[in-house]
Amino acid sequence: MKRSSETSKDIAKKMLEKLVGPELAVQALDPGREASVRAAAAAAREEMVPLIRDLARSGWKVESLDDLRRSGLQYDSAIPVILKWLPRLRLPTNKESAVRTLSVPWAGEETLATFVSLFRELLPEESLLKWAVGNGIEVLACDRFFADLASLVTDRSHGRAREMVVLALGKIKSDSAERLLIEMLDDDDVCGHAVIALGKLRSRAAEGKIRTLLNHPRAWIRREARKAIDRIQYGR
């Protein structure tokens, strides 16, 4: 087996870049990195201050977006504020926090349109954030956006970040969505999520092709194929 040439520092650097961006990641891995990590966290908090103040003016007095998400309240009036600030956030960890806070059923079609545009703009190396945006698309998906979702899932350059967008197609009750999901069974990056979506649709047209995945190398895909077939046959 070929051994990886990556050192533990290389791996740590990549993980930090995904969380706070390349500049702050370099600082965090300096010899005095404990202080740098604290500085990076402080920078992340500082970037969020204007957004948090704006939320307070809208009646939402929270210390962070995490507090808002965990409040158990339907924060309708906070959505436009977070949408306004989303494109202004520079740090990936803050942008992802905003995306997750917007990923609620009451966020509306403006949020869904924003997510579709953001998904297209994000680079492959921004995979964690891009996957989070795809998850938000799944939460908000509706029939009117079928063409947008179809364009995202058929563009293989988006890789596995498409997983939740594929799953979103299972919410769209149309022959076009069903046919597209059946096509996605041939795309190994997202075939497992296509299986789940087709199971939810109880797609008899997909049953034969799903059966071929009962021998897939990945165990979780084999399990989902069996579940989907059971749902199609028995409505389980």
Spell out a b/e string for 84-122, using b for 16 or more CB atoms within 10 Å of the CB, else e.
ebbeebebbbbbbbbbbbbbbeebbeebbebbbebbeeb
Q: Is 106 a residue whose pLDDT tops 50?
A: yes
User: What confidence score (pLDDT) does residue 50 get?
Assistant: 97
The whole-model pTM stands at 0.83
Alpha carbon distance 79, 152 (integer Å): 24
Alpha carbon distance 236, 232 (integer Å): 8
User: What confidence score (pLDDT) does residue 1 get?
Assistant: 43
User: What confidence score (pLDDT) does residue 27 get?
Assistant: 60
User: What confidence score (pLDDT) does residue 90 get?
Assistant: 94
Q: Cα 134 from chain centroid?
A: 4
Q: Cα 55 from chain centroid?
A: 24
List C-alpha distances in Å: 17 to 13, 99, 126. 6, 18, 9
User: What confidence score (pLDDT) does residue 42 get?
Assistant: 87
